[in-house]
């Protein structure tokens, strides 16, 4: 990290929040590509709070669904900045825009009310696993620790139709629960890359810390830095790469896979066809959503 206050990308302004999210050359290119007419959104706002309020509230001037697109773009621009600083990762504007579009499809597909105003919250309670957008694979992964800190991990990859692609389990030996969940992500990504299954992936884990490490990195002194770095290197193989935290209840197939390894003799096992021991969960994961 550097003590230089200037933006490391454009070197034209101090890297405060408004610059990272709006005024930087990188941010303006993302806004321009993501919105057909971003001039009204970028103009005449030199303070962060009024700019946020203007764009997070619906108005006759803003495009339909703009408040959602705006908030998604803010989140990805901030994550891009953290990846650049903490992981040294180079992400192009096209990659950011592709992820924005994927998340917008994800949001609109599952019933977000685009007429909501600032201060009004529409809750969407998810009953089960959610299918990824068309053309994108989803990796659900988990880790488990048993007696004497013996750990294992597992994961399942499915497509945008909810169809089973491949799954895995592995014995890890002695390690922490966080380390087992990071290993689950690594093994899932290795399978995707080695088998050339696709170049767009969404990862889901029920560990908020693991997800934060994937998205923002960790310091070099952290004991799991090498694992996080391997995830970063693997993520560079994908044109779209996202990682999200989910509830444990939405990650049951991966949870079963992580725990099943302890009853198998092999240290690593790949499932090439449907999982008979969790087939009912795979079917349930394709069920409906409850919106209130």
The answer to whether the Cα torsion of 256, 261, 263, 264 is positive or negative is positive
Beta-strand relationship, 150-158 and 164-174: antiparallel
Distances (CA, A) of 222 to 133, 226, 227, 279: 34, 9, 10, 38
- pLDDT confidence of residue 177: 93
3-state secondary structure of 254: helix
Average pLDDT score over residue span 107-111: 53
**pLDDT, tens digit, 9 for 90 and up, residues 148-165:** 778 999 999 999 988 889
Indicate the CATH number for domain 137-291.
3.30.420.10
User: Any idea which of 38-47, 97-106, 231-240, 283-292 has the lowest mean pLDDT?
Assistant: 283-292
**pLDDT, tens digit, 9 for 90 and up, residues 54-89:** 777 655 555 667 777 888 888 888 877 877 777 677
Q: Which of 31-45, 140-154, 232-246 ranks highest by mean pLDDT? A: 232-246
d(CA 88, CA 218): 11
pLDDT band at 1 (very low <50, low <70, confident <90, very high): very low
Of 21 and 290, which is predicted with more confidence?
21
Percent of the chain at pLDDT > 90 equals 32
Q: Taking the domains of the chain in order of start, what are their residue ranges?
A: 17-122, 137-291
d(CA 47, CA 12): 17
- Which among 5, 36, 10, 8 is positioned nearest to 24, based on CA atoms? 10
d(CA 133, CA 106): 6
Instruction: Output the CA angle 161-165-169, nearest 5 degrees.
Output: 135
Half-sphere exposure of 239 (CA within 13 A, CB side): 12
What's phi and psi for 28, nearest 5 deg?
-65, -35
pLDDT band at 275 (very low <50, low <70, confident <90, very high): low
Round the average pLDDT of the chain to a whole number and report it. Answer: 78
């Amino acid at each position: 990290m550097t003590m230089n206050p200037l933006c490391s990308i454009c070197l034209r302004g101090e890297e405060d929040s408004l610059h990272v999210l709006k005024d930087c050359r990188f941010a303006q290119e993302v806004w321009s590509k993501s919105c057909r007419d971003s001039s009204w959104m970028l103009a005449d706002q030199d303070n962060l709070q009024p700019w946020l309020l203007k764009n997070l509230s619906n108005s006759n001037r803003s495009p339909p669904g703009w408040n959602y697109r705006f908030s998604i773009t803010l989140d990805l621009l901030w994550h891009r900045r953290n990846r650049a600083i903490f992981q040294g990762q180079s992400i192009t504007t096209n990659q950011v825009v592709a992820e924005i579009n994927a998340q917008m499809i994800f949001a609109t597909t599952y019933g977000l009310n685009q007429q909501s105003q600032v201060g009004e919250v529409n809750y969407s309670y998810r009953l089960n696993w959610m299918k990824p957008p068309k053309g994108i694979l989803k990796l659900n992964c988990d880790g488990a620790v048993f007696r004497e800190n013996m750990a294992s991990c597992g994961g399942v990859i499915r497509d945008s139709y909810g169809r089973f692609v491949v799954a895995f389990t592995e014995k890890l030996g002695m390690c922490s629960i966080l380390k087992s969940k990071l290993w689950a992500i690594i093994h899932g990504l290795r399978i995707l890359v080695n088998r050339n299954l696709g170049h767009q992936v969404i990862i889901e884990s029920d560990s908020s810390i693991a997800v934060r490490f994937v998205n923002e990195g960790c310091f070099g002194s952290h004991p799991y830095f090498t694992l996080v770095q391997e995830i970063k290197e693997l993520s560079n193989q994908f044109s779209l790469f996202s990682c999200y935290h989910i509830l444990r209840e939405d990650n049951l197939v991966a949870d079963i896979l992580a725990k099943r390894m302890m009853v198998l003799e092999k240290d690593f096992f790949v499932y090439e066809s449907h999982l008979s021991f969790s087939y009912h969960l795979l079917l349930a994961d394709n069920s409906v959503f409850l919106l209130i």
